[in-house]
Amino acid sequence: MIHTPEFPKQIYASRRLRLAQSVREKSGSGVVIIGTASEKYRNRDSDFPYRFDSDFHYLTGFTEPGATLVMVVTKSTCETILFCRPKDLDREIWDGWRLGPEAAPNHLGIDQAYANTEIDNKLPELLSNQDAIFARLNNSQEQGQQLRQWLEKVQSHVRAGMTTPEALFDIETIVHEMRLFKDDYEINLMRESGKIAARGHIKAMQTSQPGLREYHLEAELLHTFRSLGAESVAYNSIVAGGANACVLHHRAGDALLNDGDLCLIDAGCELHGYASDITRTFPINGQFSSAQKAVYEIVLAAQEAAISVTKPGYDFQAPHDAALKVITQGLLDLGLLDKKVVGGVDNAIETKAFQRFYMHRTSHWLGMDVHDVGQYRETPSALTPKPWRNLKENMVLTIEPGIYIRKSDDIDPKFWDIGIRIEDDALVTSGECELMSRDVPVQVSEIEYLMKHSS
The smaller minimum CB distance to Mn ion, of residues 283 and 367, is found at: 367
111 is catalytic: no
Cβ-based neighbours of 148, under 8 Å, separated by 6 or more? none
Tell me the sheet residues that pair with 426: 397, 435
Quick one: CA torsion of 116, 121, 127, 129, rounded to 10 degrees? -150
Shortest Å, Cβ 260 to ligand GLY: 26
Q: Are the CB atoms for 402 and 358 separated by under 8 Å?
A: yes
45 is catalytic: yes
**Catalytic position from the list 12, 186, 404, 417:** 404
From residue 362 to residue 401, the character string flagging contacts with Mn ion as x (rule: CB under 5 A) and all else as - is ------------------------------------x---
Is 277 near Mn ion (CB under 5 A)?
yes
Q: What is the spatial distance between Cα 199 and Cα 208, in angstroms, rounded to a whole number?
A: 14
400 is catalytic: yes
Shortest Å, Cβ 403 to ligand GLY: 15
Strand stretches in 367-448, DSSP E: 396-399, 402-405, 418-421, 424-427, 434-435
107 is catalytic: no
Quick one: CA torsion of 432, 434, 435, 438, rounded to 10 degrees? 100
Strand stretches in 180-289, DSSP E: 232-233, 238-241, 262-267, 269-271, 274-275, 278-283
From residue 134 to residue 173, the character string flagging contacts with ligand GLY as x (rule: CB under 6 A) and all else as - is ----------------------------------------
Classify strands 132-135 and 167-170 as parallel, antiparallel or unpaired. parallel
Q: What is the spatial distance between Cα 290 and Cα 279, in angstroms, rounded to a whole number?
A: 21
Q: How many chain residues are in contact with Mn ion, going by CB under 5 A?
A: 4
The smaller minimum CB distance to ligand GLY, of residues 69 and 245, is found at: 245
The smaller minimum CB distance to Mn ion, of residues 64 and 372, is found at: 372
Contact positions with Mn ion (CB under 5 A) in 255-274:
266
Q: Are the CB atoms for 345 and 332 separated by under 8 Å?
A: yes
**Catalytic position from the list 42, 91, 223, 360:** 360
Which candidate, 188, 190, 263, 272, places its Cα nearest to that of 230? 272
Q: How many chain residues are in contact with ligand GLY, going by CB under 6 A?
A: 7
Q: What is the spatial distance between Cα 165 and Cα 13, in angstroms, rounded to a whole number?
A: 25
118 is catalytic: no
Out of 277, 369, 417, 424, the residue judged to bind ligand GLY by CB under 6 A: 277
Shortest Å, Cβ 237 to ligand GLY: 9
Is 235 near ligand GLY (CB under 6 A)?
yes
120 is catalytic: no
Q: Which residues are catalytic?
A: 45, 249, 266, 277, 360, 364, 371, 400, 404, 421, 423
Residue numbers at the binding site for Mn ion (CB under 5 A): 266, 277, 398, 423
Residue numbers at the binding site for ligand GLY (CB under 6 A): 235, 266, 277, 364, 370, 400, 423
